[in-house]
Structure 1
Amino acid sequence: MLPSSSLSTTSLGAKSNAAPRNPVSLRLYKVLSTTYDDAATRDALTTLSEFYQQSTAFGAKDSPKGEDESDATAHRTEGEDAVAASGTAARARKSLRRDAESKVAQGSQKFLKAFKEVDKNLDILQTYVETMQIQCDEAHAQLQSTNQACKSLLERAGGLRSLRDGVADRQAAVDGFLTLFTLSESERDAIESRDIMIETGFFEAMAKAEKIRDDCHVLMAGEDGPTQAGTDIMSTTSQQLEQGFDKISRWCSLEFRSLGRDAQLEVGSTMREAIRWLRKRPELLSDVLHVLAQTRQATILSTFMDALTRGGPGGRPRPIEIHAHDPLRYVGDMLAWVHQAIAGEREFLESLFSIKGDGRMVGSVRTFDGGGEEEEWIGILMDNAFEKLCSPLKIRVRQTVRSQESCITSYKVANLLQFYTVTMRSTIGDKPILSKTLNEMTDDSYKAFLDTIEAQSRSLARTPLPEDQDVTPPLSILDHTQILRELMSVYQSALIGDENETDRREGFRSILDTMVDNAIEMCINSSDARVIQNPEWDKEVFMLNCVTHLQNVVKSHSFADYKTEALQNDLDLREAEIVVGHYHRVLRDAGLDKCVAVCEAKRPDEPISRVGAMQPTNLEAALRNFATWLSSPDVVQPQRLSRLLDQRLGSRIHRAALRRLANSYELICSEVRKPENKYEAANTTLGSQRPFGQMTALRQVLGIEEDIDM
């Protein structure tokens, strides 16, 4: 069974097919085909449903039954609710327009009631406005009269305000001027206070006062001349600056008197700043530095004497004079203390004058030219500080040097003094009193050393040779050369390393010449005296041994190369002399001396076969002696030359003599073979004895075959 809506639709569809032009059907069809999904339709239906619900509720509230009927309505059944709803819907379809108009009328009544209230309030507001208008008119009238009354007062207030602004501007200008050209109360107190102590604010106040004085020159350079304000400010600041500089001077003097008693000083930033300010007043700085110089002079002298006699704190280090028995250490300790004190004083003064290091290498020479005013002050202060130290130092060093009997110790002390003199000269220069004192002490020590050498040389020259002295260097020469060897070692160790060859030679030339020449002179004098007493004394070998020994001593050092060369020249001369003498001795020992003399002195008109030793009989005897000598040991190593210290020298002398001997034998052979000398069977005469008149065989026997071309 289909629902009624479906039947109605089917019936309508059938009817539409039958009568499509029926207006009722068309309208009904239009109503049924319309969709109610749009928002406006839904809102209209919702409003309509609420309208009738409210109307039903309103009607129930207005019923005459009152609460009883409401209670009865509340107990209706569900069937009754459905009947009521269907009745409301039927009533709504019949009286929709009337109900709508009734609703509109009710709304209009509400609007009228509201507008009535508004109109009533507007009347009240209008009355209030009129009242306020009246009051405003009265207030305006009063304001007009007040404005008229206050106009003159406002004008006067404006004038006063302008005057106040002008005064404020002038006050600001005055305050700014006073700030720029006057010191504050605290700054004045820092400068003018009687308290000598200086604080950081003091230097700030001084800087400001100095700046005020510099800026005040603008006020003094006007077209109308100096202003009164400028003159007053210049006078005030001048007094304040003078007070400040005087305070700095008194404070520095007090600090120098108190701090100067210490051996080592530390300079604070306040002291450096004070010295920087005093440099602007050279006269005050000079007075302050004079106080410092006196204090440091006394302090350094006292400290030096304490180091000599009392030692350091607690006895460490020990007193310097405890080593007075050791001259080298005694003098070295004193000079080392002075050098350390100079370095500490230099560091203190550089810190005082705010001078940075000059960047020089350790040990390099300091340059004193172009150092500026600060370098000049430092030089003067250091010179004054060590002035009184020179006297006790000089006395002690001089006593030590003069008390030495050993020339080696004297030379070591002199070299030590020379080293410290050069070192301190590179630190303080040549002009200070300490440098001059060190130069004097060095000269005195070298003079004492040279006096010792001369005394030793004089003693050496007076030393005779012992009776049993052989041709070796005597003991006195050995002692003398041992001293020379030690002196050369001392000099070598004292060299710094940057000297050139000329300086190295000249530094030891006088000592070397004195000692070597005196030794040679002693040997010559002693040997001459020995020859007089003993003609058999071999002076030439003795002198060669002494000169060779001296050369061996000096040739080990490069700075003595000139003396080594001079001794070699002396050896060459003596070698040439002894070669001649040794040749004549060998020629005599070989038995050919008379034959050679005849050959060398022959006359052209006389055959030598008829002259003395060259006669055949005498010649044969001489050749036999020569052959016998060729078999003796003297051909290889003569006894005389074996006593030479330098065996190479002896071998060289002997070979030279043998070469000359061979030449002499060759001369004899050539003269014998000459027909004009009238020898019968010359070859037989020469060939009867070794070397049979053959030079090659003779040179082989003598061992000089390799020297044929020489």
Structure 2
Amino acid sequence: MSASYFQERVNSASQNGLSPASPSVGPASRGANALSSRITSVLSASYADLEIRDALETLDSRQVHNSAETRRQIRLDVQKEVIQCNGEIVKDFGEVAEQLKRIGTAIKSLNNCCADMRNHIAAANQETGPVLEEATSLITQRKQVEAKQQILHAFSSHFLISDDEANVLTSTVEPVNEDFFQGLTRVKKIHHDCQVLLGTEDQRLGLEVLEQSSKQLNAAFQKLYRWIQREFKTLDLENPQISASVRRSLRVLAERPTLFQSCLDSFAEARETILSDSFHAALTGTNSEEHIATKPIEFHAHDPLRYVGDMLAWAHSTTVSEREALENLFISDGDEIKRSIQAGLESEPWLKEDGDKEVFDGRKALNQLVSRDLMGVARLLRQRVEQVIQSHDDASLAYKIANLIGFYKGTFVRLLGSDSEVLDVFNTLNTSAMRQFRANMRDYVANVQSDLAVAPADLSPPDFLNEALQMLRVLAKSYDTSVAATDDQGQGFQTVLAEALDPFLSGCENLQKGMQQPDSAIFAINCLFAAKEVLASYRFASERVSEIDETIDEQVANLTEYQHQYFVHESGLITLLEALSTINDAEESLKTILDLDPFKPDALVAASQQLDEFLPSALIDASENLKKLRNRKMIQDITEEAAGAFCEDFERVESKMVASDDLTYDEDKEDEEQEPGLRDLFPRTSGEIRVLLS
């Protein structure tokens, strides 16, 4: 629009004969300069100016066309519009002023009303002030009374119990049920919370409540203690479903360690009496309350081992049952009893023991309680078993009983622990049985030693050794089936060997002392082999078997030397060996062999003949010397080893004679007749000897 406006201005000027770019040629130069200035200012004006933009927008809104008439009228029209607008504003302000006058009148009226109201309120305040103060005081007093009532109600509901609740806690007529335990829990909480009251300035109330709650707690625990005592008298431990109320009562009673321990003591005494009566009934079969389907244990008293085994088996079975029942009764609730005893010791610190010992070990306490329950049975068992041990003089029976007791001792250790008092009874019985075993063995050995005479003619083990080995076989089998065979690596069997074998081997040694070789060694080997056969199959006797093997090797060495001497003497080689004992390998020494008497031609020929006569039956004759040896293979091995030593001796004689012949042989007289050499007179070679003795 602005562009069209200026365009119209330009066109209009052109129509009048003027050009914006050309100078004026009109009437006067002053007018031309003014027009030029006006045009220049218009052209140099910035159309981005807000005022110009607003003016142009106003012109556009009026849809003014750029013409001479419009240009003349526009200022007048604008001024007219301005005057009209000012008139309208003045008119509007007149109406506003009129409204303000009415508002001022209303405000003045309101101020008068407010002043009247303030006067009335001041008068009313003067009249109602005392009433309000009194009402405020009453409201404050009411709030204080209500607060005290709330405190009293809270105190009564928390720190006091009703007469009915107190009756449930202390009266023996009322049962021990859920209401009792709930009341006890509440009184314990009251007793604990009295610390808050004792922390106030006035401690009288706290002390009174503490004293009352302490009396109620003591009475409740006494009632619970007496109730548990009555329940224990009628409690059936054979019933796997033991009353849950008894378990709970024990857990609660543990908060009073003194009462809890007293309860356990009386329970242990009652159970000890019951189990002792049951054991006596099982022994004799007399029971007025119930019928025993099985035969009484004493029915088998004629069989001592079974009799003792039945008694131990009954004690073991009873211990297992007692432990399972008491485990359900005392430790089925985990560590509840331990925590209760800990709480009780905190409330009764004078009961604490010095040191860092654990307050309560459920398993250990259970083992101790079971041990105390079994003490009556253990005493009766000890009497009966000792009677059996002392009334029999059979050493093997005493040892079997000792092993049986050792087996059950290990079982009771696993059940009750290593510090159980019941184990003292087993230790005593085991010691008694082993003492009886040693006494019986020593009596038997004394009887045997008084009857010792001479060894059997066939050099076999004597009868007393065979009987001892039969007993040793029984004892070894008994030990092998016992727990000790795996626990002590055979150390326990050394006592048996010392009592049941060593004295009899010593007796054989005494018989051997009066014998000559080879009978002495043969008799010793036969006895040792008999003992080895009994012990070889048991691992726990391996150490003793090794010792026997060493002794056998010594005796075998003696027999080998005896056979060797037999070979060299019977073959006649002994004279040659003795003669050569002073000859060494020096030439001068070898030349002296011819001067020795055994190497004279006649003597050497006789020795050769004696050797030839000996060799054909040498092995048979030598084996005949050992025919009483029971181990046939050993006879052959000993003879062959002795023959080997004989061959070595022969080779030594042969080498000396060959060396001597080599020194005395004269090659210059080879064609002439020479005296026969040593090898000519003694032609046997070592190879031939080895073939004949192989």
Please indicate, yes or no, whether the TM-score normalized by the shorter chain is above 0.5: yes
Distance between the aligned counterparts of 1:658 and 1:356, measured in 2? 83
Aligned residue in 1 for 2:285 = 310
* Aligned amino acid, residue 306 of structure 2: R
In structure 2, the CA distance between the partners of 1:677 and 1:585, relative to structure 1 (3 Å rule), is: farther
In the alignment, the residues of structure 2 paired with residue 654 and residue 168 of structure 1 have an alpha-carbon distance, to the nearest angstrom, of 124
Q: How does 1:465-614 map to 2 (within 5 A)?
A: 469-495=457-483, 499=487, 503-529=488-514, 531=515, 538-600=519-581, 607-609=592-594, 611-614=596-599
Matches within 5 A, 1:87-102: none
2:692 match? 701
Superposition map of 1:115-514 within 5 A: 170-195=148-173, 197-222=175-200, 224-228=201-205, 230-259=206-235, 267-310=242-285, 313-355=290-332, 372-375=360-363, 377-464=365-452, 469-495=457-483, 499=487, 503-514=488-499
**CA positional deviation for 1:251:** 0.8
Query: Alpha-carbon deviation of 1:288?
Result: 2.2
Shift of 1:171: 4.2
Question: Matched residues in 1 for 2:568 and 2:647: separation?
Answer: 10
1:373 Cα deviation after fit = 5.0
Distance 1:270 1:373 in 2: 22
Does 1:685 find its partner at 2:687? no
Taking a change above 3 Å as real, the CA distance of residues 483 and 376 of structure 1, as seen in their structure-2 partners, is closer
Whether the aligned pair in 2 keeps the contact of 1:263 and 1:303 (CA below 8 Å) is no
Report deviation, 1:342.
2.4
Report if the CA contact (8 A) 2:194-2:209 is conserved. Answer: yes
> Residues 106-117 of structure 1 correspond to what in structure 2 (within 5 A)?
none
Identity over the aligned pairs, expressed in percent? 25
1:548, CA displacement in angstroms? 2.3
Say if 2:535 and 2:541, in contact at 8 Å, map to a contact too. yes
Give 1 or 2 for the bigger CA radius of gyration. Answer: 1
Write the distance in 1 (CA, Å) between the matches of 2:607 and 2:556. Answer: 29
Q: How is 1:66-105 mapped onto 2 (pairs within 5 angstroms)?
A: none
Report what 2:634 is aligned to. 649
Worse overlay, 169-178 or 272-281: 169-178
User: For residue 459 of structure 2, what is the amino acid of its counterpart?
Assistant: V
The 8 Å contact of residues 590 and 656 in structure 2, kept in 1 or not, is answered as no
The within-5 A match list for 1:2-21 is none
Tell me how far 1:497 sits from its aligned partner. 7.4
What is the distance in 2 between the residues matched to 1:560 and 1:618?
57
Query: SS state of the match for residue 494, structure 1?
Result: coil
SS at match of 1:315: coil
AA of the residue aligned to 1:314: H
Q: CA RMSD in A?
A: 3.5
- The one-letter code matched in structure 2 to 1:199 is N
Larger RCO, structure (CA 8 Å, separation 6 or more): 2
Q: CA deviation at 1:319?
A: 1.0
Decide whether aligned partners of structure 1 residues 526 and 468 sit closer, same or farther in structure 2, where only a CA change above 3 A counts.
Answer: closer
Q: CA deviation at 1:200?
A: 1.3
Shift of residue 401, structure 1, vs aligned partner: 1.3
Match of 2:623, SS state, is coil
1:574 CA displacement: 1.4
Give the CA deviation at 1:250. Answer: 1.4
The superposition leaves residues 115-165 of structure 1 with CA deviations (integer Å, 9 ceiling, x where unpaired) of: xxxxxxxxxxxxxxxxxxxxxxxxxxxxxxxxxxxx9xx999999999888
Amino acid at match of 1:590: S
Partner amino acid for 2:639?
A: H
Which amino acid letter does the alignment assign opposite residue 568 of structure 1? Answer: D
In structure 1, the gaps of 5 or more residues are 1-150, 359-368, 704-710
**For residues 467 and 170 of structure 1, what CA distance do their matches in structure 2 show?**
115
TM-score between the two structures when normalised by the length of structure 1? 0.67
Deviation at 1:595, TM superposition (A): 3.3
Cα 1:334–1:263 shift into 2, 3 Å: farther
Task: Provide the rounded CA distance (Å) in 1 between the counterparts of 2:614 and 2:428.
Answer: 69
Instruction: State the number of aligned residues.
Output: 528
Partners of 1:388 and 1:443 in 2: CA distance:
20
Distance 1:448 1:321 in 2: 22
The structural deviation recorded for 1:686 is 4.1
Q: What's the CA shift string for 1:241-291, capped at 9, x where partnerless? A: 22211111111122223337x777863221122222222222222332232
Could you report, residue by residue, the CA deviation over 1:17-48 in whole angstroms, capped at 9, with x for unpaired residues? xxxxxxxxxxxxxxxxxxxxxxxxxxxxxxxx
Q: Which one-letter code corresponds to 2:378 in the other structure? A: C
Letter in 1 for 2:684: G
Kept in 2: contact 1:608–1:615 (CA 8 A) = no
Judge conservation of contact 1:279–1:285 (CA < 8 Å) in 2: yes
Residues 279-330 of structure 1, C-alpha deviations (whole Å, 9 max, x = no match):
2222222332232122112111111111111178433222111111112211
Identify if the C-alpha distance between structure 1 residues 657 and 192 changes in structure 2 by more than 3 Å, giving closer, same or farther. closer
SS of alignment partner, residue 406 of structure 2: helix
Answer yes or no: is the 8 Å Cα contact 1:350–1:356 preserved in 2: no
- Give the residue type in structure 1 aligned to 2:369: L
CA 451–328 in structure 1, closer or farther in 2 if over 3 Å, else same: same
Flag the 1:601–1:474 CA change in 2: closer, same or farther, 3 A: farther
Residue 231 of structure 2 aligns with an amino acid whose one-letter code is E
Against the structure 1 CA distance between its residues 443 and 655, is the aligned structure 2 distance closer, same or farther, given a 3 Å change threshold? Answer: same
Offset, 1:702: 1.6
CA displacement at 1:356 relative to structure 2: 6.0
Aligned-residue offset at 1:496: 6.4
Cα 1:686–1:357, aligned 2, differ >3 Å: closer, same or farther?
farther
The CA deviation at 1:475 is 3.0
CA deviations on 1:203-255 (whole Å, 9 max, x unpaired) are 00110111122223212211x23143x33332332222222111111111222
Aligned equivalents of 2:146, 2:456: Cα separation in 1: 124
Structure 2: unaligned runs, 5 residues or longer: 1-127, 336-356, 666-673
